[in-house]
């Protein structure tokens, strides 16, 4: 399984992202690199794509597959792409507050700690749908790791399209997220333009 092991703080500086967006509480003292050259239109579009890939922890081939799937779904391609990325199980676990970062959520899913509708799922890219119930496996609910995570993520805002119950370490997908409910700072139109060339 391919994993992006790029240093988070370095990539955040390069892409102009706040580390808090990824669930990282550190702050960088260094400033982002200043470029004297004017960035081309292609460069701006590529940077937007790299942002989305980095935020959701997806590699190029998988991201391209999501884009191809988004084009086949009725509606705006860019919005469909973000919805597909939001529906990833590792992202949902992060959004529900069962993990501090998406990387940690990916690890929790891979280590067979999450169930979807009562069935164990260990694939981080598994796509949930409205009506699905996502929960921490019964045997893991008393684990100290989840107690620490619950203490750390207490008060974190859960999106309106998700219903999360931290006391029971369980949540459900209420509806399809609208673009306004997805707080990812990415211009999806530029990504669509990038792949449309």
pLDDT in tens, 146-176: 888 888 887 778 999 999 998 899 999 999 9
CA distances from 163 to 12, 68, 92, 132, 160 (A): 29, 29, 11, 11, 7
Query: What is the per-residue pLDDT for 34?
Result: 60
Dist CA 97 CA 114 (whole Å):
13
Query: Which residue segments constitute the domains of the chain, with CATH numbers given?
Result: 8-28+39-85+184-195 (1.10.1050.10), 89-179 (3.10.290.10)
Measured CA to CA, the distance from residue 136 to residue 153 in angstroms comes to 15
Residues of the chain with confidence (pLDDT) below 70? 1-14, 16-36
Enter the DSSP assignment of 19: G
- For 87-150, the DSSP string reads TBHHHHHHHHTSSSSHHHHHHHHHTT-EEETTEE---TTPBP-TT-EEEE-GGGTT-HHHHHHH
Predicted confidence (pLDDT) per residue in 104-129, tens digit: 999 999 999 999 999 999 999 999 99
């Amino acid at each position: 399984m391919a994993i992006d092991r790029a240093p988070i703080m370095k990539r955040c500086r390069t892409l102009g992202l706040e580390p808090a967006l990824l669930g990282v509480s550190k702050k960088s003292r260094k400033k982002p690199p200043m470029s004297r050259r004017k960035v081309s239109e292609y460069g701006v579009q590529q940077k937007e794509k790299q942002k989305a890939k980095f935020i959701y922890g997806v590699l190029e081939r998988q991201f391209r597959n999501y884009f191809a799937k988004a084009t086949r779904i009725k509606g705006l391609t860019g919005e469909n792409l973000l919805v597909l990325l939001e529906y990833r199980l590792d992202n949902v676990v992060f959004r529900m507050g069962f993990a501090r970062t998406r990387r940690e959520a990916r690890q929790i899913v891979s280590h067979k700690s999450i169930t979807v509708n009562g069935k164990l799922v260990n694939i981080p890219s598994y796509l949930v749908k409205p009506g699905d119930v996502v929960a921490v496996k019964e045997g893991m609910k008393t684990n100290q790791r989840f107690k620490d995570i619950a203490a750390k993520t207490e008060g974190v805002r859960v999106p309106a399209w998700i219903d999360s119950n931290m006391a029971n370490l369980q949540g459900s997908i209420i509806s399809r997220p609208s673009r306004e409910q997805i707080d990812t700072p990415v211009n999806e139109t530029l990504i669509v333009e990038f792949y449309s060339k």
